[in-house]
Chain A
Amino acid sequence: MRFAPAVLFCSGLLLFVGGDDPALAKDPGAGTADDPFTGFEEADWDDPWDEEPQGLDWSGFIESAAGARWNDVSNLDRLTLGEFRVRAETRHVAEHYRIDFKGELLWDQVVTDLDAQVRELAVSFTPARFMDVKIGRQVLTWGTGDLLFLNDLFPKDFVSFFAGRDEDYLKSAADTARVSFYTDVVNLDLAWTPDFAPDDYLYGERFVFWNPALGAAAAPATPRRATAPGDDEFALRLFRTVGPTEYAIYGYDGRWKQPLGADADGRPIFPRLRSWGASVRTPWLGGLFNAETAFYDSLDDPRGDDPRIPNSELRLLLGYEQELVRNLTGGIQLYAERISDHDRLIENAPVPARAREEWRSVATLRLTHRAWRDALTSSLFIFVSPSDEDFYLRPSINWRRDDHWSLSGGVNLFGGREEHTFFGQLEDNSNGWFRLRYNY
């Protein structure tokens, strides 16, 4: 039980920056009825715009976060999130290029480790009128799903996502060269990552997951990490917007982003993967409609009869989002995966009863409410799988007190009828969290 130190970090953060809040020091008088403009003096703008930028301009935040699971589980702490994070960002914009940097120093109480991370360090330039290039460590995102990914095979950090870190951390950074071409007919994005960048999957330091060998959801005594092969991956997107409608075609050549396969000795590996897909997004009935599909071609198991390698699968997504009433937005998604050669999968499965069904379906609902001129945002995201009979609820609330302070809290609640399904295996990971952030 290491919850208490995390709370101490938060109090320390308050002491550290609490006395330095310019918003509190201001005279509250905005003016009088006669002249509403009195009271706004140039000195009140802490960034007078007469000032030309000089040198590098640094910004970022300091954040304290804590979270804990409800249940005791063996090999794991109750603490699922306990950290103190300092982010620094800057950029250098020159005439013909631009460099972006985002770096972090993180004390993580769960693994008791101090870590320095570079989230972005990339140079961007435009070698020709029709071409943009960005090379270096960067985060990439495409596709139309809301927290469901079909053609976006850029690395994701599910540990951060389930622990209650900011949603930005769901996307990991990778060392990638991105080249974009823009023409009147179609635009093309190419992303080449020389060193395969896997997801941050669950390996057992913080969360339990289904362990086939034990026949139970558990955390292994030693974290179950797979060795990432040193080969490259390649992603492309052809896209075009016609009027209000966005069309895209996607391709990927690399590996499954999680170690879904096993070698002859049962050690986890990343099997090869090639995928193709397409998407469309357009306004419809006062809201937004999107559809996306992808075919995952599992190159190491073309016949679908190798139980140690995932079969190929087809993924389908339909989504619709609309503002229901002022400041309340609702979105629904219907998502399905169809396993290829399911009969062979069953024939070869060590435990056919626990093998995946041919179709896995998921429905999601997102409700977002904004109040106090967007200062208070409440969100509820629900995943429900009719085929797996499991669910994941993700309510959260964020209060942006002013330009510096914000406070967030939320819950990750997993459950299911069986212990081996996608969300069902995570049931003992259900947790609550909060974060306090100071932006500078």
Chain B
Amino acid sequence: MNTGKWIVTLFAGIALPLGASSEALTEVDEIVERANLAAYYSGEDGRSEARMMIEDSQGRRQLRQFTVLRRNEEPGGDQDYMVFFSRPSDVRGTVFLVAKHMDRDDDRWLYLPGLDLVRRISASDKRTSFVGSHFYYEDVSGRNPALDEHRLVETTDAHYVLESTPRDPAAVEFVRYVTRVDRETFLPMKTEYYDGQDRVYRVMEVAQVEDVQGYPTATRSLISMPLEGGSTLMEFRSIEYDVGLPEDIFSERYLRQPPTRWLQRDGG
């Protein structure tokens, strides 16, 4: 079953051969596919530590710290994610499990250690706050490219500039978004979301990209809200790809009993 590829990070490297050509691509679908793979499907699996600094519009700051495990079924296809929270203290021990599906709603579970409760989450809207941050669940596990129509509006020296509009506008809070995809790494480096009045109200920017085992990986990124104020900075470290995560890690057993071996650095 290990034919798949997985994500550890929310923004990861490229699954396809790197730098195969410096000639500009003109097919928008290929750019979108490669950007999706670059951002969410590096390696067959992976683990990473992550932390977020959330700043609200009044400047108050909060922290989140967690470890992410990811495993791919196949490149660009279904994936499993597991997020183990270590900070702050009121969510320590909480574990979030997602089975991401291309053809139906994701399955999501939350383990609450205080009650020893495995709660199934019914929320179908993935554009809601991920643990109180400005990242959405969908920013973490990736938005299915088939949900939007994409157009290549410009090719600069460094970037492909894509404009995307939702196929179902009622299902999302944006009218369109514009993404700058790095021509070398295919990582989306900046995404601006526009509201009904054509204002940019939400921006995702990548500040730092590192090479991890040959996969260019965004290790520092920021979501900011220019209109309402507030932002969340997310950082990754101790990233490892192709660690050989067993498929059965992503199950109720390991919600209750964290897989210590796979959570430690150099664990595999």
A residues in contact (CB < 8 Å) with B: 23-24, 26-31, 36-37, 40, 44-47, 49, 59-61, 89, 93, 95, 98, 124, 126, 132, 134, 138-141, 166-168, 170-171, 180, 182, 187, 239, 241, 244, 246, 281, 283, 286-288, 321-323, 326-327, 329, 331, 370, 373-375, 400, 402-404, 406, 439-440
Contacts and interface: CB of A to CB of B under 8 A. Distances in A.
Most buried by A among B90, B125, B224: B90
Contact of B90 (A28, A167, A321, A439): A439
B189 to A, nearest CB: 13
A374 B132 contact: yes
A167 B122 contact: no
B89 to A, nearest CB: 4
Contacts of A403: 62-63, 87-90
A382 B99 CA distance: 32
Closest 10 CB pairs of A and B: A28-B59, A59-B89, A168-B114, A403-B88, A373-B129, A288-B122, A321-B122, A323-B123, A141-B116, A439-B90
Contacts of A402: 60-62
A405 B53 CA distance: 17
Interface residues of B, number: 58
A215 B201 CA distance: 64
A90 B242 CA distance: 32
B89 A23 contact: no
A31 B63 CA distance: 17
A59 B88 CA distance: 9
Interface in B98-138: 99, 104-105, 107, 112, 114-118, 120, 122-125, 127-129, 131-134
Given A37-B207, A60-B89, A93-B260, A375 B132 contact: yes
Nearest to A182: B253
B49 A49 contact: yes
Contacts of A29: 59
A30 B123 contact: no
Contacts of A23: 60-62
Contacts of A167: 115
B26 interface: no
A317 B199 CA distance: 48
B65 interface: yes
Nearest to B50: A49
A286 B120 contact: no
Interface of B: 49, 51, 53-56, 58-63, 65, 87-90, 92, 99, 104-105, 107, 112, 114-118, 120, 122-125, 127-129, 131-134, 173, 203, 205, 207, 220, 222, 224, 230-231, 233, 237, 248, 251-253, 256-257, 260
15 contacts: A23-B62, A28-B58, A30-B230, A37-B207, A40-B233, A45-B63, A47-B51, A49-B51, A124-B257, A138-B116, A241-B252, A244-B104, A283-B122, A326-B125, A373-B134
B210 to A, nearest CB: 15
Nearest to A93: B260
A27 B53 CA distance: 13
Contact of A327 (B55, B56, B87, B128): B128
Given A49-B65, A171-B116, A283 B92 contact: no
B115 A37 contact: no
Given A140-B116, A323-B124, 5 more contacts: A30-B230, A46-B63, A132-B257, A287-B124, A326-B128
Nearest to A187: B253
Contacts of B230: 30
Dominant SS at the B interface? mixed
Most buried by B among A26, A138, A321, A403: A403
Nearest to B55: A30
A180 B252 CA distance: 11
Contacts of B257: 124, 126, 132, 134
A281 B129 contact: no
Given A326-B125, A373-B134, A281 B120 contact: yes
Nearest to B224: A36
Contacts of B55: 28, 30
Contacts of A171: 115-116
Nearest to A134: B257
Contacts of B128: 326-327, 370
A175 to B, nearest CB: 15
B4 to A, nearest CB: 17
Most buried by B among A124, A180, A283: A283
Contacts of A246: 120
A171 B90 CA distance: 18
A61 B207 contact: no
Given A323-B124, A326-B125, A59 B92 contact: yes
A168 B88 CA distance: 18
A61 B61 CA distance: 19
A426 B143 CA distance: 49
B105 A283 contact: yes
Contacts of B53: 40, 44-45
A323 B116 contact: no
A323 B90 contact: no
A343 B236 CA distance: 67
A374 B129 contact: yes
Contacts of B205: 36
A241 B116 contact: no
B220 A37 contact: yes
B132 A37 contact: no
B120 A288 contact: yes
A410 to B, nearest CB: 18
Contacts of B90: 61, 400, 403, 406, 439
